Structure 1
Amino acid sequence: MAVESLGSAPRVKVAPWNDPVIRGWVFQIVVVGLVGFLAWYLVSNTIDNLQRQKIASGFHYLEREAGFEIGDTMIEYSPASTYARAIWVGILNTLRVAVLGIILSTLLGTIIGVGRLSPNWLLSRICSWYVEAFRNVPLLLWLFLFYKLISEAFPGPRQAISLMWNSVFLSNRGVYFPVPMADPIHKWMGLAFLVGIAGAWLVARWARKRQEATGQPFPVISASLGIMVGLPALVWLAGGAPHHMSWPELKGFNFAGGTVIQPEFTALLVGLVLYTSAFVAEIVRSGILALHKGQSEAAAALGLSRGQAMRLVLLPQALRVIVPPMTSQYLNITKNSSLAIAIGYPDLVASINVTINQTGQAIENILIIMAAYLSVSLSISAFMNWYNKRIALTER
């Protein structure tokens, strides 16, 4: 007897409003339309109100003369510069604090986190007190404290503390020290330094592959430092070894010549580093404790010292746990740098604040702040996500 082949069951026709696929698309289109309508209403209402109150809009003001001083700049700036350049100065100052803060807080936080795991009772207690003190006090209070300590602990320029054979001076206006005078060879030295960084990365990559193949370690740190310092030094020698210096000298009520590290910058950087390193220390400690104790026992069985076991065995494995929460701390450093306005450091927020007061165009300036912080934060997140994928375990 022939057996009829069983085909797929016929699809039951349903009304379009009962089809989950069609219903899902309709809901999404409605939500997007409502959001778009709300955005259009807010923008159009804002434009109408600005026109009614005869308030200028747009970004044409960026080309006008700023007319205000900025005390700490990384590039040439004067009151005759444009608002765009003033804002760019603020962005560079914010990036300087953020980059230095990320590097220093990572180093200090790692040391403190490892110190909390030390068998030395006194060392572990000191690290624990440090973490609890900085984690449980608002960052703004630490910034106020460090700024007052720096500005009041040192005398004025006329009574400045002299160090290193009258070449470095400490005062309540900052730390003054000599710097090389500008020379065309310096740009080539900077380029050589960047080449040295690339060379150090290649050396580290080669050393890792060599160790995986032969088991022989290579002094990567010393070799990398030699490349990054040696190449600029060779360029400097090839350029005639210019050694003319600009020395700080007391003239009137302040120093002239050399360069200065402003107390506002010092207070902000110290506060950010000490505060964030307390959180980094806990992340590092928890990452190490997440590893099985057999890893430490195996390292000890191989004859590795505690320092070697930490550097070669524990920390490389703990990075897979440490990196994701560290991303949040790096973002916090960047965003917390906006508190600089409380102690007078001319970061992006300070430059924008003065610009708003002079131009009255708050919406455009706030959008610039949001775009700047969003760009920096997304860049940090993208880099850390790339690094996290790079160190992740790959399944076979």
Structure 2
Amino acid sequence: MVALLKNRHVRDNALQVLFVGSIVSVLALLAITAKTNMDAQGITGGFAFLERATGWRVGFSLIETDASLTYAQAILIGITNSLFLGAITLPLASLVGVTVGVMRTSGNGMAELLGTTYVETFRNIPLILQLLFWYTIMLALPSPRDAEPLIGSVVLTGRGIYIPGLNVTGGSVFAGFVWVALMMAVVVRMTPRRWRNIDTTRARHEKRVVWLLALAGFIAALWIGRIPDTPLASIPEAKGLNFKGGIRISPELIACVLAISIYGGAYIAEIIRAGFNAIPKGQSEAGKALGLSGWHIFSRIRLPLAIRIVMPTLINQYVWLFKATTIGIAVSFTDFFMVISTAINQAGQTMELIFMLMAGFLIINYSIAWVLNRVNDAIKLKGTQLRI
């Protein structure tokens, strides 16, 4: 026994087993305590409650629902709404961040002042206050009876924004976006391996073919999913005290999109600015020596290098921004967190629902990080940073 304890390999393994065993023991003790308390209060565990009807209707849903909505369907709606909100806010925050980051490194005094003012203003105001501000502005808009169309058939009202839409099923729209995502994955996957080793003109032609296939597939999905006996386009029209037709974007969704995009854009702007500042000046000087224009130096040299440098930090920021979608509960937006909170109050299955909430966010955020890490591996420069 003494000889085994003197063996460093055995000692290290024993410490690891002891550490893992301690964690498992603590978790088992917590589970037993929770089970005992639930039995004492007459609470039945398990996930059978998911098949029960909720008795309430959701305010915003991308999935068709009815009065017999079950807890499982409500949770699915919440997950879908959170993913939808993240799919809108993450690209918008990136667009805002890149724009402001470019302004702060442009060398133009006025642009730098505006960019700095934006960052220092929206970065230092709590996100929930910005959400309440935008939500108050949305509710202060005219009622549908008094609202007038702005551009085309877009109408701003206190009940939401009405825009023209298409009479197609939600499944066809989802299938179209999945097809476009697959085509984008083909472009990202083939760029470092194939298109670097063939003629530039041929590579551009093949990329155009892929993008045309993506567009054609998206249009085909919408056409197949068209609702029968209805016109393809749906235009909002004033009828009575409200608007009928088109797409209604709820004030809660708009407030969440504006707050998260603007707040997240301020942080992304600082990340992008750090990436631009980390690029050696010799890269831009080399582009000028080759006769490249200012736009080509920015789009072909500075921006790609900056994205490569800051990609790991951006991944962390994107994961944080998706977790920020939970603020929607402050304005009653039906996201994943709000559905779980409401279900806890009504069903009483706290342990099960908290577990589902944690598991759901873990899977979603891990998936975001995994995909973006694969993108980072595809675009990163090989070798040391001295090569940039």
The normalised TM-score by structure 2 is 0.88
Tell me the residue number matched to 1:158: 145
2:164 to 166, 175, 178: 178
Give the root-mean-square deviation of aligned CA atoms.
Answer: 3.0
Which runs of no fewer than 5 residues in structure 2 stay unpaired? none
- 2:132 paired with 1:144: yes
Could you tell me the percent identity over the aligned residues?
32
In 2, Cα distance between the equivalents of 1:129 and 1:219? Answer: 43
After superposition, the Cα gap between the structure-2 partners of 1:40 and 1:64, relative to the gap in structure 1 and judged at 3 Å, is: same
Give the match for residue 63 of structure 1.
51
1:324 aligns with 2:312: yes
Greater radius of gyration (CA): 1
Listed as ranges, the matches of 1:1-396 within 5 Å are 15-152=3-140, 154-164=141-151, 167-182=153-168, 187=172, 194-195=178-179, 198-199=182-183, 202=186, 213-214=198-199, 218=204, 226-233=212-219, 243-395=231-383
How far residue 251 of structure 1 moved from its aligned partner, in angstroms, is 4.3
Residue 228 of structure 1, CA deviation:
3.5
Mapped to 1, the partners of 2:217 and 2:43 lie a distance apart of: 55
One-letter code of the match for 1:256? K
Amino acid at match of 1:97: L
Distance in structure 1 (CA, Å) of the matches to 2:11 and 2:195: 59
Count of residue correspondences: 380
Q: Secondary structure at the match of 1:158?
A: coil
Q: Aligned equivalents of 1:243 and 1:212: distance in 2? A: 48
- TM-superposed deviation, 1:302: 1.4
Distance 2:17 2:223 in 1: 67
- Write the distance in 1 (CA, Å) between the matches of 2:225 and 2:361: 40
CA distance in 2, matches of 1:237, 1:255: 25
State the secondary structure of the residue aligned to 1:32: helix
Q: CA deviation at 1:79?
A: 3.1
Distance 2:94 2:199 in 1: 31
- Residue 273 of structure 1, CA deviation: 0.5
Distance apart, 1:265 and its partner CA: 0.3
Q: Which amino acid aligns with 1:176?
A: Y
The code of the aligned residue for 1:119 comes to: G
Distance 1:180 1:392, change over 3 A: closer
Contact persistence 1:158–1:254 (CA under 8 A): yes
SS of the aligned residue for 1:163 comes to coil
Identify unmatched segments of 5+ residues in structure 1: 1-12
- Checking the alignment, whether the CA contact within 8 Å between 1:180 and 1:246 is kept in structure 2 is yes
How far apart in 1 are the matches of 2:114 and 2:259? 19
| TM-score, L = length of structure 1 | 0.86
Shift of 1:361: 1.3
How far has the Cα of 1:364 moved from its partner?
Answer: 1.0
Partner of 1:5: none
